[in-house]
Amino acid sequence: ILCGLRDHINGCVKFVFQPAEEGQAGAVKMIEAGVLENPRVDQVYGIHLWSYMKSGVLGIEEGAVMANSDRFYVTVHGKGGHGSAPETAVDALVCSANIVTALQTIPARNVSPLDNCVVTVGTMQGGYAPNVICDTCKLSGTVRTLRAETQDLVEERLKRICHSIAEAHGATADVQYERIYGATINTEKETEAVRSAARLVVDEECIQPPYRSLAGEDFSFFLRERPGCFYFVGCAIPDREIVGHHAPNFDIHEDALHVGAAAHVAIALQQLGGISSLTQH
């Protein structure tokens, strides 16, 4: 569409076809390779299908719209033994179970209820047989926050809890904490530009704040480098139960693709002086 209107565009539009978004930070690789230079990119805009909103609704909001995404890995080292003689062992499984429970006190008791925080333990692996006390247990999980200060607090508390509970049980804990993606933070001016362009594509009632979650998104790396906006297009299939992203039966209402494409075109034309071409077409 934009190529067909290139004579009406007073500037340059770069299409970014980014690989490795899910966990491998493809945006970082592209930035390092110079995608934002030659010619220099002044603004960045991204779009995400969102099955939590009605098809065709555009979710637009300034500020943090997706979360800091961190991962942690904990290995608890105890002392194995026979299940009939627990006094001769240090049960890594029991220690780990206490750690899992205690980690939930971070969002409940260390973070303000007016702030945003999720601590999820996703895996717990340990034990060999019903009558053997476990000597090693491994945990892994994710932490989601919106504010950098909260991210720092959670990392410090998580490490302290793991080490302290392990010590109390006579065990030790190795803790690895990784900051994967930063929060996705939309700048005010560019977010308002997206709202303005969206009015050319959908009715006003279809422009809403997005359904919020603490998912992570590596478009955040582009927004660290340039002002811009990451927004959402609803793709829920009408009259069907909402299916979350990454579910095995995930599907979309494909009419949403037209809305998303039209919104992106409208933004580019509006920001580069070719909006009259859009209204004519």
Rounded to whole angstroms, the Cα distance separating 70 from 196 reads 34
Q: Supply 21's token pair.
A: 């978004």
Do the Cβ atoms of 150 and 161 come closer than 8 Å? Answer: no
Do the Cβ atoms of 130 and 83 come closer than 8 Å? Answer: yes
Q: Which of 45, 52, 181, 231 is catalytic?
A: 181
The torsion angle over the Cα atoms of residues 233, 239, 241 and 247, rounded to 10 degrees, is: -50
Q: Is 181 a catalytic residue?
A: yes
* φ/ψ of residue 242, rounded to 5: -65, 130
Rounded to whole angstroms, the Cα distance separating 160 from 92 reads 17
Q: Is 188 a catalytic residue?
A: no
Active site residues: 181, 254
